[in-house]
Structure 1
Amino acid sequence: MDAPGWVIPNSWANSVTDRSPARSSTRISRRCGSAIALKTSARERGRHGGRPKVVDDDMADHARALRTQGVTVPQIARELVIPSGKNKGEHPSITTVYRLLAEAEAFDDTDE
């Protein structure tokens, strides 16, 4: 008999056979779950995913007020100060201020 025209690499064949115990243990842990995971979700435990916001509502209101007075965006960025987090005490980027003002403008357009 002739051998087939293709050969399965040994490492691939082993990974396929070794995967079944991992899958079954994952299924068991998902079925049983921990007591905490079954009772509450991450959000209910105070865990919020994603990157923290740089701009709070007070800062956004102040930026909008300055913009209506005719202050340029770079000047607004220099005046604002990040209140908390890793960059506390620094100024937001000009891009952040533009994004903030654009979101506010889009929100105002949907209100009308």
Structure 2
Amino acid sequence: MSKNSRLVYSTDGGRVSEKPQNTEAPTGDGIVRIQRSSKGRGGKTVSVITGVPLVGDELKSLTKKLKQVCGTGGAVKEGNIEIQGDHRDTLKATLEKLDYTVKLAGG
């Protein structure tokens, strides 16, 4: 490649994979917090669960169970669980049955 040319496209790198998954459980105060949020979602409300000491497939499995309990959709984003709609009370009761210390955060 010459010094003055600009690289437009290259296949040297092959497929670029997603961010590497964190294999360590997040460290915190051991309290799972549930808050309601609608920022950046076009006015749609979601319940955001933070502080869950799980990673990878365990976190996805818990998310699936919570989505089934609430009867709605959701996802894992950046280590947090997002459940569509305001289901904080239902989520709190479910997580407490699973022996987590839970607090409702925010308004």
TM-score (norm 1): 0.20
Q: Which has the higher contact order (CA 8 A, sep 6+)?
A: 2
Q: Name the larger-Rg structure.
A: 1
Q: Would you tell me which structure has more strand in proportion to its own residues?
A: 2
Q: Would you tell me which structure has more helix in proportion to its own residues?
A: 1
